[in-house]
Amino acid sequence: MIRIYLSASISNAHNNAHLAEQFAKEDFEIYLPQDIVPDQLSHVQFPLHVYQQCVDMMTASDIGLVLFDAFGRDCAWECGWYSARPDKLLIAYVESGSVFMRDWMVKGGIDALITPNPRLYAVCQENPILQTKKIELIEDLAALPDAIRKIYCDLQAGA
């Protein structure tokens, strides 16, 4: 079983849940921080235990999956946490947005990037930082779990 922590804006909850539904429960465990945040509180009022629960989920995971289409400051912190952990992988998924291209520290910290967008795929292959990473072009969102499994197995094997 591969355990994945989904790093994405909580305001993107409906898309986060849709993405999580693509993963077979017998092969993957998906940690969604949006499932533990108090919906009646603003982000300013979140208690410390919410932060700690997120860190616990990250610690239990094998992979951090950052959604570059729903990326925020908390996601940047999570990316830094993952990139500092040699026992964890950090994989980015992006469908259409290219704002992440300005975040050179985050790009440097990822292990791989997956996209169904041929234009973004081409741009990423030419980027001085991303061209040193595994970059995968997939057909559509349904192909994401297999791409993650392949990257996970390849990187675990040292490929």
pLDDT digits (tens, 9 = 90+) for 85-100: 999 999 999 999 888 8
Total tally of structural domains belonging to the chain: 1
* Sheet arrangement for strand 28-31: 28-31, 2-7, 63-67, 89-93, 112-115, 134-137
The pLDDT of residue 43 is 60
Question: What is the C-alpha end-to-end distance of the chain, expressed in Å?
Answer: 20
Per-residue pLDDT band at 157 (split at 50, 70, 90): confident
The pLDDT of residue 103 is 87
**Mean pLDDT for the stretch of residues 107-136:** 95
Print the domain residue range for 9.
2-156
In terms of pLDDT, which residue wins out, 48 or 146? 146
Beta bridge partners of 66: 7, 92
How far, in Å, CA of 88 to CA of 40, rounded? 32
The pLDDT of residue 146 is 96
Lowest average pLDDT, out of 4-13, 39-48, 58-67, 150-159, goes to 39-48
**Mean pLDDT for the stretch of residues 69-95:** 91
pLDDT averaged over every residue in the chain: 89
**Mean pLDDT for the stretch of residues 113-121:** 97
CATH number at residue 126: 3.40.50.450
**What's the number of CA atoms in the CB half-sphere (13 Å) around residue 8?**
28
In terms of pLDDT, which residue wins out, 34 or 1? 1
pTM above 0.85, yes or no: yes
